[in-house]
Amino acid sequence: MHTISKILNAPPEETLDPDSWDDVHDLSHQIIDDAIGYLRDVRDRPVWQDMPSGTKTFFTTPLPQSPVPLADVYQQVTNTVMLYPMGNIHPRFWAWYMGSSNFTGALGDFLAAIQGSNLGGGNHAAALMDNQVIDWCKEMMGFPVSASGTLVSGGSMANIIGLTVARNVMAGVDVRELGVAAMERPLRFYGSDQVHSCHRKAMESLGLGNQALRRIATNGELRIDLAALRRAILEDRAAGYRPACIIGTAGTVNTGAIDDLDALATIAEEEGLWFHVDGCIGALIAISPHNAHRVAGIERADSLALDPHKWLHAPFEAGCALVRDAGLHRGAFAVTPEYLETAPRGLASAAWLHEYGLQTSRGFKALKIWMALKEHGIEKFGRLIDQNIEQGHYLSALIKAEPLLELVAPTTINIVCYRYRRAGLDDGRLKILNIEIMLRLQESGVAALSDTTVHGAHCLRVAINNHRTRRQDLDLLVRETIRIGELIG
Ligand SMILES: *Cc1c(COP(=O)(O)O)cnc(C)c1O
């Protein structure tokens, strides 16, 4: 037992707050000024550059024991992290598939951290804003008001949320209580051979196994072959499996192909299957004035994954899962222990947001999305999506017009697959040459692309999910690809 006098003799109590708020004022303003300059001048810097060895070893320094002034800490960040970014905020970053962030979203992330709420739920304003952003996502996707949703780290988690609900609903047993071993028939899920790798992770972590996901062949446009899908479902039923879920992809990661979502919804309906759409790339095309028709049928999904950190350019991370039937969604995740019961009034007098996913504590991701949507309005985001798709077709036209380059897959939206070609080189040599071009483009800081293989053909892949890209950047890419290709000789 501590006596009062012992407590009074104890060392002074501490906090993480600064000794004087005046001390952090100037530095904080400096950080904001630097941040503005950093984004304003991003075009003048290389897209990417490799780190010198000094920077690499900097990150092996030991666990700090004693204090360092914040100004020095910031200086260390400036000299390392800020100098060597991945590059996805740059106008000529087109590798993989990312968003290019935005300043308002960054302010949102800052304010979310300052305000500090835990979005596990509760009766407070951030929770209402989280709900409102979900409502806005439902509206953008044409989902009913009665649908539910949750903001998660990204598309991979959003897909896992949707597929978990699908598994539980289709299992035929109480899979939450009894586990997958109790299922009478193994479940089968269906996606195209272009399906994103996160679905494999989902199958594995759901205990169904990778083989439970049947990859259905795609046609020349890289869209799922509907007849092959119907055959596979019949075959599986006859073989004693339980066909459970069709995964439609709205924008494949390889080429941007969009499955015929309407037809998939109809097949799912006829066969009594769950219909999940992976819309991480393309769901948001639904808000674009000129291209929305490409994702017709998305509103018929039972569950849908979309990715605000892609085409809404929210700073990482922000993904969103929507589920048409809120009861089924909550039924897949809700577990309310006695210490998380709701109260009639006060802080706990609201539905818990953690009942719609795997996390308990949740960050305040809604604010960065909410602020950017408010500032620009949804019409502008729709136009920016059209702009990227138009740029994809512009680049595609440049490539078609250029004898030294060839398209390797049809361009549907904002992903362009092409390669440098040279007479007399077989596919293996062409691949080596094109990889070298890609690496030199990256290392020179001119552009960041990635590569892939489409129906057996290796290619360079340009994914223009970038509100800073201009057509002149694509002109430069074509010139540089050819220049480097000729240089390699
Ligand atoms: C990006 C992407 C994912 C994964 O999303 P993350 O946000 O990276 O987790 C899933 N599916 C498709 C089609 C994607 O493009």
Which atom in ligand 1 lies closest to the alpha carbon of residue 195?
13
Domain limits, CATH 3.90.1150.170, in the chain: 379-488
Query: Do residues 184 and 196 make contact, with C-beta atoms less than 8 angstroms apart?
Result: no
* CATH class of residue range 107-377: alpha beta
Q: Which residues contact 244 (CB under 8 A, 6 or more apart)?
A: 166, 167, 170, 171, 187, 188, 189, 273, 274
Kindly report, residue by residue over 228-286, the tens digit of the pLDDT.
999 999 999 999 999 999 999 999 999 999 999 999 999 999 999 999 999 999 999 99
Cite the beta strand spans of 160-241 per DSSP E. 187-192, 213-216
Beta carbon of 155 within 6 Å of any ligand 1 atom: yes
Q: What is the mean pLDDT of residues 331-350?
A: 87
Beta carbon of 154 within 6 Å of any ligand 1 atom: yes
What pLDDT score does 341 carry? 80
Kindly report, residue by residue over 460-483, the tens digit of the pLDDT.
999 999 999 999 999 999 999 999
Please give the distance, rounded to the nearest whole angstrom, from the Cα atom of residue 196 to the centre of ligand 1.
7
Please give the distance, rounded to the nearest whole angstrom, from the Cα atom of residue 56 to the centre of ligand 1.
29
- How many other β-carbons are positioned within 10 Å of the β-carbon of residue 303? 31
What pLDDT score does 2 carry? 59
Beta carbon of 280 within 6 Å of any ligand 1 atom: yes
Kindly report, residue by residue over 210-235, the tens digit of the pLDDT.
999 999 999 999 999 999 999 999 99
Please give the distance, rounded to the nearest whole angstrom, from the Cα atom of residue 182 to the centre of ligand 1.
31
Domain limits, CATH 3.40.640.10, in the chain: 107-377
**In angstroms, what CA-CA distances link 298 with 52, 264, 308?**
47, 10, 16
* Topology of the domain covering 379-488: Aspartate Aminotransferase, domain 1 (3.90.1150)
What pLDDT score does 337 carry? 75
What pLDDT score does 327 carry? 96
What pLDDT score does 249 carry? 98
The torsion angle over the Cα atoms of residues 141, 146, 152 and 155, rounded to 10 degrees, is -30
Mutate to test the pocket of ligand 1, among 157, 285, 307 (most ligand atoms within 8 A of CB): 307
Beta carbon of 381 within 6 Å of any ligand 1 atom: no
Indicate whether 65 pLDDT > 80: yes
Q: What is the mean pLDDT of residues 108-128?
A: 97
Beta carbon of 198 within 6 Å of any ligand 1 atom: yes
Beta carbon of 156 within 6 Å of any ligand 1 atom: yes
Which atom in ligand 1 lies closest to the alpha carbon of residue 251?
13
Beta carbon of 399 within 6 Å of any ligand 1 atom: no
Please give the distance, rounded to the nearest whole angstrom, from the Cα atom of residue 280 to the centre of ligand 1.
5
What pLDDT score does 436 carry? 98
